[in-house]
Amino acid sequence: MSPLLRFNASAEAETTLTLSSGIRVDNLDWNIAGNIYGTNPNVLSELTWDDLLILQLKADGKLVMADRLYLRGYVDYGWIFDGENQDSDYAGDDRTREWSRSNNDTNDDNVLDASLGVGYQFGPVWKILKITPLAGYSYHEQNLVITNGHQTIPPLGPFSGLDSTYDTEWKGPWAGVDLGVLFEKKLAVTGSFEYHWVDYYAAADWNLRTDFQHPKSFEHDADGEGVLVSADLDLFLSEQVSLSAMITYQNFWTDDGTAQTFYASGRTSKTRLNEVNWESFAGMIGIAFIF
């Protein structure tokens, strides 16, 4: 996103809209224990999604008023076109006595992210640097589909009909800072850091489990935290247009929470959700319009 670093203190308001696209790679994993106390065994079941390749489109907006009041936000949407999933079940503590494992595909899924923040811009410092502390709120989701099942433990091979889903939500407030540097009014670099506090929720439909309810077979709840670090490089073609290149790294995790299962009989049960981890890296290119 263009950092609005023209340092024009006389401007009452300046707005930037950036449209970009690129590739994002995500990893997600979670595991549960055998009971609510985290034992019997301490890891009963574990799901991992590795190397989720995502085609992402993103729209960023930024508004600076009187060269001080600073508002920025974004929304993005991505299509997962490749990725791997593993589902493992254990009878012993510390991931021992693995009695079931399937290695599956995940594609035709999607992700969605949105964020809004407000801050106060200080500077310029040394005539080139602006510093903006911010606070905001963000929302993130991954809608994952597990298909093309292949049972590896025991080695039974491919099985048909797998079409399970796991849909996540990460949402909550964040605090952070933007640093912007302008070089000769032609090249600008912006770095951002955010620390997030999140509520995590996920709902799953395990379609081949006839003993589970459908469409919601189980759900996960937990509190968590996360960090986001990004860097933007803008080459100004004019005072109104720039070319942008952006990289973003996100790492979110949860504390232990609860996993509740809904059975076809109407019975429910709860166990401990040990952890959920989500890591994401994106590289984007785009064009920014300054008004």
Question: pLDDT tens across 69-128, in order?
Answer: 999 999 999 999 999 999 999 999 999 999 999 999 998 899 999 999 999 999 888 888
| Mean pLDDT across 233-248 | 96
Question: Does residue 2 belong to any structural domain of this protein?
Answer: no
Q: Is pLDDT at 8 greater than 90 in this prediction?
A: no
**How far from 234 is each of 2, 18, 21, 170, CA to CA, in Å?**
6, 11, 15, 30
The predicted pLDDT at position 107 comes to: 83
Question: Does residue 274 belong to any structural domain of this protein?
Answer: yes
Question: Does residue 136 belong to any structural domain of this protein?
Answer: yes
Q: Is pLDDT at 7 greater than 50 in this prediction?
A: no
CATH number at residue 101: 2.40.128.90
| Mean pLDDT across 258-269 | 98
Sequence-separated (6 or more) residues with CB below 8 Å from residue 225: 195, 196, 197, 198, 252, 253
Q: Is pLDDT at 252 greater than 70 in this prediction?
A: yes
How many domains in the chain? Answer: 1
- Pairing between β-strand 257-262 and β-strand 218-236 as defined by DSSP bridges: antiparallel
Q: Is pLDDT at 31 greater than 60 in this prediction?
A: yes
Question: Does residue 5 belong to any structural domain of this protein?
Answer: no
Question: Does residue 8 belong to any structural domain of this protein?
Answer: no
Closest alpha carbon to 244 in 280, 290, 284:
284
The predicted pLDDT at position 92 comes to: 98
Question: Does residue 3 belong to any structural domain of this protein?
Answer: no
Question: Does residue 61 belong to any structural domain of this protein?
Answer: yes
pLDDT band at 183 (very low <50, low <70, confident <90, very high): confident
Question: Does residue 4 belong to any structural domain of this protein?
Answer: no
The predicted pLDDT at position 128 comes to: 85
